[in-house]
Amino acid sequence: MDKAYDHKKYEAEIYKKWEESGAFAPSETGKPYCMIMPPPNANDDLHIGHARFVAIEDALIRYHRMKGEAVLWLPGADHAGIETQFVFEKKLKEQGKSRFDFDRETLYQMIWDYVQKNKSNMENQLRSLGASCDWSRERFTLDPEIVRIVYRTFKKLHDDGLVYRGERLVNYCTRCGTAYSELEVDHVEKEGEIYTLDYGSIKIATTRPETIFADAAVAVNPNDKKYAALVGKKATIPLINRGVLIISDEAVEMGVGTDALKVTPAHDFTDWEIGERHNLERITVVGRDGRITVPAPEKYRGMYVNEARKAVVADLEAAGKLVKREKKQMVTGVCYRCKNPIEPLPSPQWFVKVGPLVEPAKRAVEEKKTVFAAEKFEKIYLHWLDNLRDWNISRQIVWGIQIPAWKCGKCGEWTITAGETPGECGGCGGKNLTRDTDTFDTWFSSGQWPFATLQTTQPGDFERFYPTAVMETAYDILPFWVMRMTMLGLYVTGKVPFEKVLIHGLVRDKQGQKISKSKGNVINPLEMTEKYGTDALRMALVWGALVENDMALAEDNIRGQRNFANKIWNIARFIVMADEADKAEGGAKTEMNDDDEWINKELKKTVKTVTEDLEQFRLNEAAAEVYEFVWHKLADVYLEKVKGRRAEAQDNLRRVWAEALKLLHPFMPFVTEVVWQELKFGESPTLISAHWPS
């Protein structure tokens, strides 16, 4: 054995050996233990957050496999609709092109090819992180079998009256050219201006003067005495001198602006609701391209909203209708992806009625059918469900699963199928049908991932492994994913998709700052594994904090764990050299003393606490326990004591070491496996398939 452990020499070879040995596939017997991997987006390299989930999930997977359970860790890849199209469009832009230069089929094919390349890249990175998942069962969210299931769910929802097509005010990104769900809108605070305008009989305050041409009313609070006499009278929109009714509605809060609100149903969510209550006209003056349209006065048409705002304000001022303008900190919705301001626009979309899905999803958690490992996330989950609105599942992009809905050219009715092209309109029998060009929200398909995967891998998998044991994922997608999986899983299969939810925190830089490209504090997991070895990175990612908490990751910690890997290597080296010496002297002659009994007792204690910690998902504690035992008890104390009576203690040392390697294996799979094979323990040719000590 070399003097120091060289991870580069062993990792790839060991991984190949594991994979070829069939150890990643579930055994025929044993209690089923299934984890579905959160499928990484197939559009980029893995980042440090992926490395953390691999470290956590693989540790649990290896532990349960060693306990003799039938373990299935099912890997996958996500087509990640918006994300991927966004990334791809950036590439196109670098080449001086845009999505509008291609027809739908060509664009789809180009993204497909791009994704396939990234997908295999991503898979290799998971391998290099040591993920012991069953590649023979890998699924991609656009696999035809998966798509069929997604279609079927949509049809079922539709047949049950839980899907409707509605003209609603949606969060529209004029840059991305698609509507989003409420969850995909970020809110940023920035300085804007609020303008007080003279509406003749009343003054109103607004931050969006460019939309005055779409006003349908002016609203005041029903309890507002100062305006009570005006309700039912008319106000006059300046510049165009159109009269609108003054109405009263409880949505108007008092103490804001002039206490009078211009109601623009087509361009504001509050106003939309007021409009519904009062049956107001929905006048649109902003188009999907973000430019002003008719019926705004001609001079503003074609302007982007920002320019139009300036122009309108200037004209209002000239007309003497601008009473006041002042700076104001305000919160605006921006596209979570491109950060452009979200434009609320009326648009026909497919919605899922969430009410009937929310109740079972709440009950499942309240009745502990699904248990959150960290209670705080259960509270957050329930809070989310209580405040959920109907889910817009249609996106105006090409990259994704096209919605199986056809519109009749004759009667205008929609025909929904489970994927197949309908022969005729379900309403009038017309033959002239056109398919909706929209695609599903990515989360609509990934929300079905646990059952969609298991129903399409091997016969019997679903019956055997569903509900899965644990869903492990990051907290930032709790509402997007965990919540939707529970709702859709319960709806389609009648059972929760997973029994436990283990949520992990974010990886931050060593000062605890959020990692971002713009800050330049990105930690590249592949660079770290190259430099210090996968085991070191993984141990550092588990060691630093409770699974559920954010973790500050310093390179020093990774280096420290590399040193630990080297310590493991050298303990083994010591034992090998002792073996050789024994052989030369005619074999070990076992004779136990107090030191042996002490280390055996310490080992037993360690086995107990590490096992308990793993059962409770306290991976940091478990890792620290083994570390303490191996380095500071076995190496620093026992090994030193043994030096004087090597031959008598050798058998016990080998036995203790074999058990210690097992405890370490979930956290540092490579070096422990190399060492296990080096020492040729008889129990099992590979450590990955050895038995967890008890």
**Residues of this chain, 278-307, that bind RNA according to CB under 7 A:** none
Q: Does 549 bind RNA (CB under 7 A)?
A: yes
Residue 263 phi, psi dihedral angles, 5° rounding: -105, 115
Binds RNA (CB under 7 A): choice among 566, 606, 652, 672: 566
Identify residues 17-76 at the interface with RNA (CB under 7 A): none
Distance, CA of 210 to CA of 237 (rounded, Å) = 12
Please state the closest distance from residue 409 (CB atom) to RNA, in A.
37
Which amino acid is located at 320 in the chain?
G
- Determine if 394 is a binding residue for RNA (CB under 7 A): no
Residues 320-359 contacting RNA, CB under 7 A: 328, 330-331
**Contact assessment for residue 238 and residue 231, using Cβ atoms and an 8 Å cutoff:** no
Tell me if 122 sits within 8 A of 64, measured CB to CB.
no
Range in contact with RNA (rule: CB under 7 A) among 35-43, 63-71, 107-115, 379-387: 379-387
In this chain, which stretch among 95-103, 140-148, 206-214, 596-604 interacts with RNA, using CB under 7 A?
206-214
> What φ, ψ does residue 665 adopt, rounded to 5°?
-55, -40
Q: Which of 25, 92, 110, 185 binds RNA (CB under 7 A)?
A: 185
Look-up of token digits 């005055």: 212
Measured from the CB of residue 483, what is the shortest distance to RNA in angstroms? Answer: 12
Q: Identity (one letter) of the amino acid at 103?
A: D
> Does 552 sit near RNA (CB under 7 A)?
yes
In the list 370, 394, 611, 620, the residue contacting RNA (rule: CB under 7 A) is: 620
Helix axes 104-128 and 525-532, enclosed angle (nearest 10): 30
Contact between 202 and RNA (CB under 7 A)? no
Cα–Cα separations (whole angstroms), residue 142 to 118, 435, 612? 14, 19, 40
154-183: contacts with RNA (CB under 7 A): 182-183
Lookup: tokens for 554: 């310093």
Q: Which is nearer to RNA, 85 or 211 (CB)?
A: 211
User: Which residues in 227-256 contact RNA (CB under 7 A)?
Assistant: 251-256
Q: How many residues bind RNA (CB under 7 A)?
A: 77
Interface pick for RNA out of 546, 598, 647, 679 (rule CB under 7 A): 546
Measuring CA to CA, how many Å separate 557 from each of 8, 532, 621, 655? 19, 11, 16, 30
Minimum distance between the CB of residue 165 and RNA, rounded to whole angstroms? Answer: 22
Q: Could you tell me which of 392, 370, 383 has the C-alpha nearest to residue 441?
A: 392
E strands within 136-279? 139-140, 163-173, 178-180, 185-198, 203-206, 217-220, 234-237, 242-248, 260-263
Measured distance CA(557)–CA(623) in Å, rounded = 14
556 is a contact residue toward RNA (CB under 7 A): yes
**Least distance (Å) between residue 256 CB and RNA:** 4
d(CA 464, CA 451): 12
Q: Which of 64, 567, 662, 665 binds RNA (CB under 7 A)?
A: 567
Q: Is 585 in the site for RNA (CB under 7 A)?
A: no
Q: Which of residues 637-666 bind RNA (CB under 7 A)?
A: 637, 639-640, 643
Rounded to the nearest whole angstrom, what is the least distance from the CB of residue 571 to RNA in the complex? 5
**Site string (481-520) toward RNA, x via CB under 7 A:** ---------------------------x-xxx-x------
